[in-house]
Amino acid sequence: MTMTDEPLLSIRNLRTRFHTDDGVVEAVDGVSFDVARGETVCIVGESGSGKSVTSESITQLIPMPPGEIADGEVYFDGEDVTTLSDGELRALRGGRIGHVFQNPQGALNPVYTVGYQIREAITAHHDVSKADARQRAIDLLEDVGIPEAATRVDDYPHEFSGGMKQRVVIAIALACEPDLLIADEPTTALDVTIEAQILDLLDNLQDEYDVSIVFITHDLGVVAEIADRVVVMYAGKVMEVGTVEDVFETPAHPYTQALLECLPGRSTLEPIPGSLPSPIDPPDGCRFHDRCTYANGECSVGEQPPMYDRSPEHRVSCVHWEPGSDGLPEPGGDRDVSPVAGGDR
Ligand SMILES: Nc1ncnc2c1ncn2[C@@H]1O[C@H](COP(=O)(O)OP(=O)(O)OP(=O)(O)O)[C@@H](O)[C@H]1O
Ligand code: NI
């Protein structure tokens, strides 16, 4: 068996919940997907669908308590990392798995130079001399596109613009040459021009650093730009998984179709009518059924439907795609007939 055929990351039936005064929040409820080596997987879905909790469960960044990984496995390079000790998890984070978050301001310490912070990221995991770590910090700043890196290395975070700060954060995340980079809405706080530059940068770095990326966004425009594969989440469940072509050209789940209708240039700019169900007392059947114009009696009973194969790479959790069913009317041709947003709600 060659090791490289096995996915780098394999999340199986992950369930993460939070114990709150109002009850148990089922934030991530049986999520499974893979990330292959060198690929970019985007997790997309509305606010509250469980994207961040899924990604933060990988290295157990969620606060525990109130959080709890109640079930499932997270295989990273073949090893179930849900069973690691706190020390092993600390070594994993910032080591083989780097994180980048939405707000670069919060990720950097204002009282230390960026060079110091990059050196710390390196020396926390590797035994290198201060001089070597400093040179490595300069190289990293160059790699993430910071001009005059050799002098900028001694500057403090407030001396950088928002976009440049996020580049520094990316440099820190890459400092130990991780196998996996987890980026949770890394461009949401930046303006669109800077966003495009950061997306380009990540694309280039992916090749240079040979790193897999899990990228979280609620913006399908960003997904179209950078994803190899897409995981569509809704209310703690995976609704659809496919290649970027599958999801954009033959979206199968009514939720995915509704999300696509909200893209600029499509039939509507209105958000999907209705809102996410309560994560404390989620409805029976498909979590999306009360917002879905295709829903029938079958959709509101039992469990979330299993993931049915449309092709080996393209899977969808919807009763209309049960083997032998006809599926949904083809969404590709006439975009004016919106399955959800065009309904009379
Ligand atoms: N510490 C916590 N305590 C209680 N509930 C939480 C906690 N963290 C997250 N949740 C809940 O878990 C659910 C999933 O949240 P999550 O942050 O993963 O959503 P998301 O898809 O990342 O949304 P957004 O696009 O707004 O970032 C939500 O209902 C949220 O309120
Ligand atoms: Ni989030």
Structural domains of the chain ordered from first start: 3-230 (3.40.50.300), 248-321 (no CATH)
On average, the pLDDT of the chain sits at 92
pLDDT at residue 246 above 60? yes
Query: Is residue 345 over pLDDT 50?
Result: no
Taking the centre of ligand 2 as the mean of its atom positions, its distance from the CA of residue 48, in whole angstroms, is: 7
Check if 218 has its Cβ closer than 6 Å to any atom of ligand 1. Answer: yes
pTM for this structure?
A: 0.93
Amino acid in position 249: E
Cβ of 95 below 6 Å from ligand 1: no
**Mind listing the pLDDT tens digit for each residue in 101-115?**
999 999 999 999 999
Given this model, what pLDDT does residue 342 score? 37
Instruction: For residue 184, report the distance from its CA to the centre of ligand 2, in Å.
Output: 7
- For residue 294, the 8-state DSSP code is T
Residue type, 88: E
pLDDT of 143: 97
The pLDDT tens digits for 152-191 are 999 999 999 999 999 999 999 999 999 999 999 999 999 9
Average pLDDT over residues 121-145: 96
Ligand 1 contacts CB of residue 277 (under 6 A): no
Strand pairing report for 67-76 and 79-80: antiparallel
pLDDT at residue 99 in the model: 96
Q: To which H or E segment does residue 205 belong? A: helix 192-209
Checking ipTM against 0.90, whether it exceeds it is yes
Minimum-distance ligand 1 atom for the alpha carbon of 53: 18
Cis amide leading into 65 (omega within 30): yes
Rounded CA gap, 298 and 65, in Å? 37
Sequence-distant (≥ 6) Cβ neighbours of residue 147 within 8 angstroms: none
Q: Is 302 left (phi over 0), alpha (psi -120 to 50) or beta?
A: left
CA distances from 230 to 38, 43, 61, 158 (A): 15, 6, 23, 35
Is the pLDDT at 41 greater than 60? The verdict is: yes
Structure tokens at 277: 């169900």
Place 267 in a pLDDT band, splitting at 50, 70 and 90. Answer: low
CA of residue 138 to ligand 1 center, whole Å: 36
